[in-house]
Amino acid sequence: MWSQQYINSHHEVSWPPENSALIKSGQVRSVLDAGSGTCSLDVLLRKKGLMHLLHPFIQFGAWECSMGRICGERGASQLDWDFLKPMPFCDSCTFDLVHQARAFHEFKTDAGPLRLALDNFDKVLSCGGRISIEDLILHPPSQNWTEVALDWTHKMGYEFQWLVKKPETAHIWIIKRC
């Protein structure tokens, strides 16, 4: 049975206005929502009138099957996938934006899964595309995902941008350079 805790209103979605601006300008034409939960981003993009600008918009990742049920009730579909596995797309299938919100903090003490997720996102990211990550900031002894992302970005030769940097939360962009 699904729980009320999984029902987010559209204004609670972790989606910065900068991402919407990229869609409106045509710089982003395809989005992969990695860890879509109850498909709240899908609802937000439809309400903002942006969904018709995206080809494709694909979402995956629910903590449990009741979240997938909520997606269906919202008129959305969702892949049953995990971002720690290679993405199930063809070699030429890429996205201008890979969005991930509120899952990286779950890897409290191990940077390995964070790097693996970033590697998997990178394989489906278009040249010049962005990985957009928003999550809670954890403090020692937990692993801070922003430090892992910054280190990974520098090793890849990509650009790192802070959109929001607060003591309790952060939102970043990683911009792929090809």
171 DSSP 8-state letter? E
CA dihedral (78, 68, 10, 101) in degrees, to 10, reads -70
Report the predicted TM-score, pTM, of the whole model to 2 decimal places.
Answer: 0.91
CATH number of the structural domain 30-175:
3.40.50.150
Whether 6 shows a pLDDT value over 80: the answer reads: no
Nearest to 105 by CA among 156, 148, 153: 148
Separation between Cα atoms, residue 32 and residue 165, nearest integer Å: 23
The pLDDT value given to residue 153: 98
Q: Which pLDDT tens digit goes with each residue over 18-43?
A: 999 999 999 999 999 999 999 999 99
The pLDDT value given to residue 52: 97
75 DSSP 8-state letter? T
Q: What percentage of the chain exceeds 70 in pLDDT? A: 93
Which of 3-12, 50-59, 102-111 has the largest mean confidence?
50-59
Q: Report the mean per-residue pLDDT for the chain.
A: 90
Q: Where are the domains of the chain?
A: 30-175
What distances in angstroms separate CA 74 from CA 31, 39, 120, one per listed residue? 19, 8, 28
Tell me the pairing of strands 169-175 and 159-165: antiparallel
Whether 80 shows a pLDDT value over 50: the answer reads: yes
Q: Are the CB atoms for 33 and 131 separated by under 8 Å? A: no
The pLDDT value given to residue 3: 42
Separation between Cα atoms, residue 20 and residue 24, nearest integer Å: 6
Determine how many CB atoms are found less than 10 A away from the CB of residue 113: 15
Tokens of 90: 């063809």
55 DSSP 8-state letter? S
